[in-house]
Structure 1
Amino acid sequence: MVGIALLGAGIFAREEHLPAIEATPSLTLKAVYSRSQRSAEALAAACKDPSSVAVYYDEPATLGKSLSDLLARADVAAVDVVLPILRQPDVVRAALQAGKHVLSEKPVAGDVAAARALIGWYEAWEGPGQQGGAGKPLWGVAENWRFMESLRYAARRVGEIGGQVVSFRLVQHGFMREDNKYFNTEWRKTPAHQGGFLLDAGVHFVAGLRFLLAAAGQSIRQLAGFTALLNKPLVPVDTVHAAAVTQDGKPGTITMSFGTEFKSAMEIEIVTTKGAVVWSPTEVKTTVGKGDGSGDTVEEKKEFPRNFGVAAEVAAFAQAVEAGELDRLQSPSEAFIDLEILQALLESGAGGGVVKTIGA
């Protein structure tokens, strides 16, 4: 059994990560942490067995109850970090230096520069008191969309259909109301990070698009977009429309908006020379050419229960800790590309549609 601590008591930590940890047989929740005693105790109270979970917090300052005290515990081998975006990197580094395996929520950092610095430090670091990297703790970045059953099925269908990509699209429309529980999280309501909700949620959408493009052997190479603020409380911007091309020059479009009140959509489509796959969280539609020159097609639809994939990603992390090898879908480098594309969309929009190159 792997002793783990949950760091963070926000909505996603409480509603998704806590039950995912408790549902993973190889994990034992030893402790929880939040900035305030009140929120930490509320998280502990939501546990299946509150009496078995120790509580740590920063405010009020209490001897033996700080994050440093938690990270010093020998029975905590791993931590699941679900904190505000800009706080994550420092806590990730502190946990690794304390010898703990780390699963940290997306995005990998608030911007590309901070992400590159953290990843570069980790790759060069030899580990706490180790030589040559022996025994260095694992660090994975949690992008639950890569573990969604419906998205994985869609990726399999893209691979099975085959052919060369001719087009792709990502379309997300929604409206973030002021009574939404996520909007009323203080660090989201008054964001200090770039892009507001476009960064916080947008990396999910980018990850989904990248996952399906990768199934067809493609990745995004260049993009150019325009941004806007349609829903005034969602500063600094809430909408981006962009054109993008793959490394082979195949064109596609990216649309993400949290300010479109009368349109709701979440779809990713990959079109190849042999068919097309349209993914949404609860449905995958496949169109395949018969291959007889007639132009006729066979259509298929498969439905899925709504599931965020968090339980699967936590289980994958637990397995990685036991095996000593990280699942590549949780690698910081994968999360870095998600962030790089999202930041490029924001920067292109701020520059009036300037073309941005990924990986330049």
Structure 2
Amino acid sequence: MKKLKLGIIGSGIAVKELHLPALRTLDTLYEVKAISSRNMDHAISLANECGSDVVAFDDPSKMKDIDVVDIAIPVNLNYDMIKIAFEKGWDVICEKPIAENTQSARKILELHEKYPQRILYIAESHRHDPAIKIIKDHLSEIGEVAFFDYKLVLPTKDSKYAKTEWRKHPAHVGGFLSDGGVHHVAFLNAIFGKYLSVGGFAKQISDFTDAYDTMIMSIKYENGFGTYSVTYAPNYGENEFSIYGSLGTLKMKNSKVTVVKDDNIKEYPVPPANFFAEEFKDFYNCVVKRQKPVLGDPYLAFTDLEMIEKVIK
């Protein structure tokens, strides 16, 4: 099995705590060869952690002897890094959101059209959630969909992510609402398909970022409609996803999907999965087989961002 030589652009939390642990489980697929960061000390430290033969750079264009790059940096820098990678002949896996707003995202899509031979995979980890298949497999059991309700309360104030400067003073639209929200709408879109229209409200009730932190989105799909509600401000609350149908209900909560029809209750546990390992495996197959990404399709990533931007604007 061919190993892909990987260069990593970025040295922040996502790389250290999400990407590298996943890549260590895939050492038959990838070999980390280079780390690039604007902070050379950070690049050197991370390169040393990865192995004695991993080279540190403060300029990604200087990286050598690699096949693919993993981009995990402040989202407003994605375009420039993807452009460097394409010019160097590297395939790209890039952390979500695809860009800081849809205007920049369109530029990335246009750039990709100029390099059709390159693979561009937007790493939307939640499309690899095994709950999606369980829900879709049992959705017909509750009859015609009346509406859905996706409610998330995500305490963020004391999280390490909220303390990063680029998230405290975000250049990306809506701050956490797009940074985290693309996960949630990607999950919904994977279940219901392409959205027809969105509307909603957003506001800020916290004091730890310069952006909105609370949103209610109404979404219409071809086969139903419903609401996605999220807040990053409170420090308490429950998360639940419910679909109400003509014959019963389907709910997901605490890693379990429950289907209720009359007095009949069926429960399906959602198996644990490393979403990040799954996306890196999928990216590997796309690169080796020279196939366009499906779960990492940049046009899907554009749609995820577009939905949130429409509500915020």
Match of 2:141 among 157, 161, 167: 161
Report the equivalent of 2:161. 182
Residue type of the partner of 2:281? A
Report the equivalent of 1:269. 242
Residue type of the partner of 1:198? L
Match of 1:239 among 200, 204, 214: 214
Report the equivalent of 1:173. 153
Equivalent residue of 1:327, what SS?
Answer: coil
Aligned residues: 310
Report the equivalent of 1:80. 70
Decide whether the 8 Å contact of 1:151 with 1:279 is kept in 2: no
Residue type of the partner of 1:23? T
Report the equivalent of 1:228. 203
Match of 1:12 among 11, 14, 20: 14
1:298 aligns with 2:300: no
Residue type of the partner of 1:335? A
Equivalent residue of 2:295, what SS?
Answer: helix
Decide whether the 8 Å contact of 1:317 with 1:326 is kept in 2: no
Report the equivalent of 1:350. none
The structure-2 alpha-carbon separation of the partners of 1:327 and 1:157, relative to structure 1 and needing over 3 Å to count, comes to farther
Decide whether the 8 Å contact of 2:258 with 2:268 is kept in 1: yes
1:200 aligns with 2:179: yes
1:285 aligns with 2:257: yes
Equivalent residue of 2:52, what SS?
Answer: helix
- Residues 119-173 of structure 1 show CA distances to partners (whole Å, capped at 9, x for unaligned) of 12312x1x4xxxxx5xx11111000011123344333333x63743211121111
The structure-2 alpha-carbon separation of the partners of 1:192 and 1:301, relative to structure 1 and needing over 3 Å to count, comes to same
Residue type of the partner of 2:255? E
- Residues 68-112 of structure 1 show CA distances to partners (whole Å, capped at 9, x for unaligned) of 111xx2x20100111111001110121012110000110111111
Residue type of the partner of 1:183? A
Residue type of the partner of 1:189? K
Decide whether the 8 Å contact of 1:154 with 1:284 is kept in 2: no
Decide whether the 8 Å contact of 1:145 with 1:151 is kept in 2: no
1:104 aligns with 2:94: yes
Equivalent residue of 2:94, what SS?
Answer: strand
Query: CA–CA distance in 2 between the matches of 1:328 and 1:188?
Result: 29
Equivalences for 1:211-360 in 2 at 5 Å?
Answer: 211-214=190-193, 219-247=194-222, 250-263=224-237, 265-280=238-253, 282-289=254-261, 295-305=262-272, 307-347=273-313
Match of 2:81 among 81, 91, 96: 91
Match of 1:31 among 8, 30, 34: 34
Residue type of the partner of 1:260? P
In structure 2, the gaps of 5 or more residues are none
Query: CA–CA distance in 2 between the matches of 1:103 and 1:236?
Result: 27
Query: CA–CA distance in 2 between the matches of 1:152 and 1:240?
Result: 27
Percent identical among aligned pairs is 28
Q: How far does residue 308 in structure 1 lie from its aligned partner after superposition?
A: 4.9
Decide whether the 8 Å contact of 1:22 with 1:29 is kept in 2: no
Residue type of the partner of 1:333? Y
Equivalent residue of 1:51, what SS?
Answer: coil
Q: How far does residue 273 in structure 1 lie from its aligned partner after superposition?
A: 3.2
Decide whether the 8 Å contact of 1:164 with 1:273 is kept in 2: yes
Residue type of the partner of 2:211? P
Equivalent residue of 2:38, what SS?
Answer: strand
1:141 aligns with 2:129: no
Report the equivalent of 1:61. none
